[in-house]
Amino acid sequence: MQTVSENNCFGGVQGVYNHTSTACACDMTFGLFMPVEAKDGPVPVLWFLSGLTCTHENAMTKAGAQLWAAEHGIALVFPDTSPRGDDVANDEAYDLGQSAGFYIDATQSPWATHFQMQSYVLHELSELLFENFPLDEQRQSICGHSMGGHGALTLAMKTPGRFASMSAFSPICNPVQSDWGRKQFTAYLGADESEWVKHDATHLMAGSGFNGPVLVDTGTQDQFYDLLKPEGLATAMVARKQNGTFRLQPGYDHSYFFISTFMEDHVAFHADALYGVTA
C-alpha cells in the first residue's frame, strides 16, 4: 500500500492510498478519513460507495461527510467504483465498464477478469484497512449514492450481522426492472435472471431484509427517478415491517448538492447504530 496524499481535516486526516488488488487484478485507489480519536485506539467505520462515473474522489470532496464524521469520531472509507487501467475491459457508454462496477462479482467475459467489486469491498479492501489502520471491525456501517446506494443496500443485506446500519441516497432500488441494472447484469452475470435477483435490493428486502435500521433519501425531482424504481423497495420495506425510514425529499435532484444537504442526518443515523444509541 502506498500513500498518495494525507491532509489534516477537521482535526483528523483525510488520506488517499493505492495498492495492488488481487481481486480486481489491477491497482486500486481509495480514500480514508481518520478522526482524531483514532490516535487513542480503534474507531467505528462508515463505508461510502459512490455512483456511476465516480471515483473514490467524488464523495470524498463533495459530500461534506468529514465534518459530521469528526463530530462523532467515525472513520470514513471511500472505495473506487470499479477496476481501472489500460488492460481493464471498458465500454463507450458511461454506465458499463470502468466507473460502473455495480459492486458485484462478474462471471462473464471480458468482465470477470477484473470486475470483482463485491469481493474487493467486502474482503480484500476490508482486510487491508483493518490490518493497517486503527479501525473497529466490530462497528461498521455502510452508505452509498445511486449505483453506490444499490451497492450499500445489497452488500449489507448479503452479509447479516456485519453492518450495524445501512443508508442510501437515491439508490438504484430495483435493478432487475431498470435499464440501470438489466443492461449491466446481462453483461456481467449473463442472461439468467435468477442470478440477477441476488443483487437487487428490492428482492433482498422482500426475502431476508436487514437486521438493523435503514435510512433512504430520494429527491422528488431526481432526473433519474424512473431508473431508480424506489417504489419497489419502499413496498418491500413496508411488507416485512423493516425497521427503517424511506424519505422523499421535495424538490431535490440526484446531485451532490442533495447528498451534502442530508449528509448530517445520515452520519448521525449511523452514529446512533455504531455507538448503540436508540434513536
**What is the Cα Rg of the chain in Å?**
17
Active-site option among 99, 146, 170, 178: 146
Task: Determine phi and psi for 174, rounding to 5 degrees.
Answer: -140, 65
Q: How far, in Å, CA of 191 to CA of 39, rounded?
A: 49
The kind and range of the H/E element at 114 are none
Which residues are bridge partners to 141 per DSSP? Answer: 46
Residue 266 appears among annotated catalytic residues:
no
Q: Which DSSP letter does residue 125 get?
A: I
222 is catalytic: yes
| Residue 27 identity | D
State yes or no: is 21 an active-site residue. no
Query: What phi, psi does 117 have (nearest 5°)?
Result: -70, -30
Helices marked H in the chain — which ranges? Answer: 57-62, 65-72, 117-119, 126-132, 147-158, 179-189, 193-196, 201-207, 225-228, 230-239, 256-274
List 105, 200, 217, 222, catalytic entry? 222
**Three-state secondary structure string covering 148-171:** HHHHHHHHHHHCCCCCCCEEEECC
Contact 121, 244 (CB under 8 A): no
In angstroms, rounded to a whole number, what is the distance separating the alpha carbons of residues 114 and 121? Answer: 13
Q: Label each residue of 63-101 as H, E or C.
A: CCHHHHHHHHCCEEEEECCCCCCCCCCCCCCCCCECCEC
The residue annotated as part of the active site, out of 72, 254, 266, 270, is 254
Active site residues: 146, 222, 254
